[in-house]
Chain A
């Protein structure tokens, strides 16, 4: 069928560009640097015992032919093969979570939030404009088909640019001011994405828990694509699947993040083998997985993951009473902690407390776009927001609700992020009702009614209604405590629980005064991540929904921001995306955080509230202290569960023997 037009072998133009630019950020194989002790060549790889039988029978090639020529190497403590890991999920949709745990990504974050190549052998980053991705030669999909740049080409030309499959065009992460990338396939293992302006978030998007997927298993999906498939066959498949057209069929089958198609080849450590619908999903080890440990044993150690569905509400009971999960954090809440701890001995697991990454466990969002003009003027007065913040006794909240385990302060970066600053954390966050009262007097809210509640300029009592999404008792407990201390500065607080869609629509329309929700999604960001959420860029920013809408719709709806601080945030955000200087990016972040701290756009309470993580005592290599975060973090993903391993149950010696790798094939663990 011939190569498509954008295929250009590395030609004159490419070389010319390369020569004139400094290769600023070369992230060459950071994994290798960590794992140099590994001296195993492809010939010395260890065959996982679970697959030995199939290899002996000749239905599976031996391990050295299944691994890429240069496998990725896990630097952590080596383990042993075998076992099934049980975990609980709440619905069939949660099969995607196993994809988070597998965390096989083109690029990946380390636990320190450093971005390193993972599936990719290396990346050349030329000024954040030209990215040359080098695949691992010889890497294979879980069905044994080669994983090459053809899979990228297929996705770009036949999925992303196909109006049937992607009606809105390529993913927005790949568009810089509307400009599409130039995609060049240089050879079987090299592909280049280039833009004329910097796209600093490109590599980060590849490392997300639900990443930007820029490839697809072409050999499998071509049978569902009208460009390649025989029309009669495709019509039959469409009919069988009861869908309207082939586009719908393709979209249903090609979703790698959703992880619900057992036929879809994958690069993950564990491959879905159960066809939905089911209440129990079995994920078997991927015989072609690309990672090894430092002894040359192919990962993952654990043969099988079994994810069973249980109602989210009884998952804590199943874990705590029955010990029915070997590794569980999802659907366990901090208030389950004592109950879970009680089950530790009976069920032989341990409950660990990991930090969560939210900027604040719960934060108040004064709506700067509230419609009522008098309220709007108050909300936009920084003195008012500061007064509200200082009238919250964060220490009391921490002690009463979180056993004093949280970090009291504003909604900002947490300790552990290179951007954290105590100054920002403490800004306007000390409990001082006198100072708060003074600020309110200064604004001119001096009149009070008989109850001592301050009156607004038009005579209405100062009653703040906080609209919530309901159903979390944690929220109402926190608000109860805030109500008491706000009363001291003459402000009444009411809560109004609503259905979540109603709440969101009311916020977007500017009908709510204030809401309460989680703080910043990522309180552990690094300067290399986009500071977008700190600027009014999305209508889901509850403090400025209409400004965000204005940005998102490019001015078609919403309102342009008119507060100088918000305008400055927007300009800074734009600058962050334009610059290629790492120092400047860090400065921009710090400036934006300082503005937030000073302006108190959101009012934080307590952060770093622990997440209980239940770990079976037979499960090893799970860090005792960790951070449970979605992006970056992929929940357990950054800790690479492919090198977690299970010791056999006590008394089960037959199994123990089987779990030992074949004698003589393991070199001594290398001490660093």
Chain B
């Protein structure tokens, strides 16, 4: 076990180096740089830009240097915990990301809870009552959730929430609470805004989870040990909880690896539509405007979380399921 952990940790290093090169390369691929998109944006609002100033900024930001030099500068900073400098915000990346992370956590964790609370009972019910009309009904609902584009759902809910309940459009709280210290009124305002993103982001996830849980559980329910347990007179509910359900949970534990980065990135497109102050829109905007250190450092942060998450879920699987052996592959 110990050797396995060390090996996994060492493999992370080349993985992250490879990711950093790919990330930097892709960000640099589109023509132009941050300043050319900035100039275009100003011009679209009818503003003029002094070319001399732009040339000065280009030198200041080091855009005139070769790409490999910019890459090394960035990586060297990352190793010291300095994520670089955001051109768009005119601030160090660390300062830009910091505030948004908290709200992203709130949205993501609420969404995950919402998904689980809804998906587990429905999934189990669907599996145990296969082909009943309630199963069909819930399946239909689930597919609706999967098939509705989330941005559309978001727009419909926004319109409804504003015209019916008078909730301000977009955002996570009433505008007067932004930047204020937390208070009861602020929490209330956040809660009154939170349900829209939670439903919208959660809808497709819930549907997917119901389907997977139902399929996994159905596989297990057919197996002989279930029949045996039933024959021995165990109560149906206890049978369900003790064996098949636990078996069908493996895929969810394996999911933790992707869950971790998901929690901090949020759902970008929906967040843009809903104008949420989370990290998703920030990342999207950074990529679009080629704010390369902001985009690059944030993507690296997510990559790091993914790698760690996969590692943790592997360890958890090994601990939870005795059938999984860590060194199986090598002995074969």
Contact = CB atoms under 8 A, between A and B. Distances in A.
Interface residues of A, number: 54
B162 interface: yes
A489 B85 CA distance: 55
B196 to A, nearest CB: 13
A25 interface: no
Contact of A260 (B48, B90, B171): B90
Contacts of B171: 279, 308, 310
B271 to A, nearest CB: 9
Contacts, number: 117
A518 B45 CA distance: 11
Contacts of A243: 85
B175 A172 contact: no
Contact of A630 (B46, B51, B95, B175): B46
Contacts of B179: 274, 278-280, 282
Contacts of B40: 469, 500-501, 504
B159 A321 contact: yes
A379 interface: no
A336 to B, nearest CB: 14
Contacts of A93: 88-90
A588 to B, nearest CB: 22
B31 A276 contact: no
A582 B140 CA distance: 77
A521 B45 CA distance: 11
Contacts of B47: 209-210, 630-631
Interface string A240-265: 01110000100110000010100000
Interface string B30-71: 111000110010000111101110011001100000000000
B158 interface: yes
Interface residues of B, number: 44
A568 interface: no
A502 B99 CA distance: 35
B159 A499 contact: no
A501 B32 contact: yes
Contact of A321 (B56, B59, B162): B162
B178 interface: yes
Interface stretch (B5-13, B127-135, B185-193, B272-280): B272-280
A129 B177 CA distance: 53
A98 to B, nearest CB: 14
A276 B175 contact: no
B46 A277 contact: no
**In the complex, which of the residues B32, B59, B275 has the most CB atoms of chain A within 10 Å of its own CB atom?**
B275
Nearest to A280: B178
Interface of B: 30-32, 36-37, 40, 45-48, 50-52, 55-56, 59-60, 82, 85, 88-92, 95-96, 99, 158-159, 162-163, 168-171, 175, 178-179, 272-273, 275, 277, 281, 285
Interface of A: 86, 91-93, 166-168, 171-172, 209-210, 241-243, 248, 251-252, 258, 260, 274, 276-280, 282, 306, 308-311, 313-314, 317-318, 321-322, 324, 330, 358, 469, 499-502, 504-505, 518, 521, 538, 552, 629-631
13 contacts: A277-B89, A277-B91, A279-B171, A279-B179, A314-B170, A317-B170, A318-B275, A499-B30, A501-B36, A501-B40, A518-B46, A521-B48, A630-B45
Given A166-B56, A317-B169, A502-B31, 10 more contacts: A86-B175, A168-B55, A252-B90, A276-B91, A282-B179, A311-B281, A313-B272, A317-B158, A318-B170, A324-B169
